[in-house]
Amino acid sequence: MKITWLGHSSFRMEIADQVLLVDPWLSGNPMFPESSRNAAIQGATAILVSHGHGDHSADALAISKELDIPIVGIYDLMSYWEASEDAKVIGFNKGGTVRLGDVAVTMVNASHSSSIGGENGPVYAGTESGYMIAGDGHVIYFTGDTDVMADMKVFNDLHAPDIGILCAGGHFTMDMKRAAYAAKTFFDFKTVIPCHYRTFPILEQSAEELAKGLPGVNVIEPQVMEAITV
C-alpha cells in the first residue's frame, strides 16, 4: 500500500486493486505543484469526497470527467452533482459501506460543516463525513474535517483501524493536541499521518506535539508527492 500526500487534506492511496484520490484539491492548493498533477491522478479508479468545502472537493468534478471515474460521497452532494453536472457518482450515507473492487469504504460521522459556494453564499451540501478504508490487510481511518468525538470509540470497536490520517491543523479542525488525545484515547494506531496543516499561516506548521503525545506510534510528517509505503 502506498499513501501519497498531495498537500492539505488531499491524498492518493494505492490500495489493493484501487487507486483512490481522497479530497482532491490540486488547483490553487499552495502546497501542491501544478506540474505534478498528471502524476498525482494517473491511474485513479475513484474519488472520495468527505464534504463540500472547496479545499476538499474543488477538483473532484474535473478529475472525474477527465478520467471517467466515479465520485464517492454523501448522498445529497452526489445527487446534486449528478443532476446539475451529469457527474458519475456513488452516493451513500453514514454507516453504509461501498465496495470499490477489493477495497471496502465505510462512511462514518464527523463534526464540522459542509457547503459549496453559491451565488448568495454557502449552499448546503449534505453533512460532513470521514471514511474507514479497508484493503491490503489494513484499515485506514481518514477523519475528514472534524473535532474529537466520542463516536470515535465506536469507530474503533467496529473497524479497529491501524492507520490514522488525522486532520490536525487547528482553527477549522482539531489541532495537534486534540488529535493526539483522540488517537490515544480511542484508537490503537500503528501509524498516524497528520493533514490539514501547514497550508496557511493560520494552521499549525509542525506535528511535533502530535508525535510527543503518541509515544510508540509511528507518526509520519508527510511530504508532498513522496509516497509512504505501509
CATH number at residue 50: 3.60.15.10
Please give the Cα distance from 58 to 37 (Å, whole number).
Answer: 14
Q: Which of 14-18, 73-77, 114-118, 143-147 has the lowest mean pLDDT?
A: 114-118
Cell reading at 151: 463516536
Amino acid at 38: N
Phi (first) and psi of residue 214, to 5 degrees: -130, 65
pLDDT score at 128: 98
Domain that holds residue 102: 2-229
Note the pLDDT tens digit of each residue in 59-71: 999 999 999 999 9
Note the pLDDT tens digit of each residue in 135-165: 999 999 999 999 999 999 999 999 999 999 9
Please give the Cα distance from 148 to 186 (Å, whole number).
Answer: 10
Domain count, the chain: 1
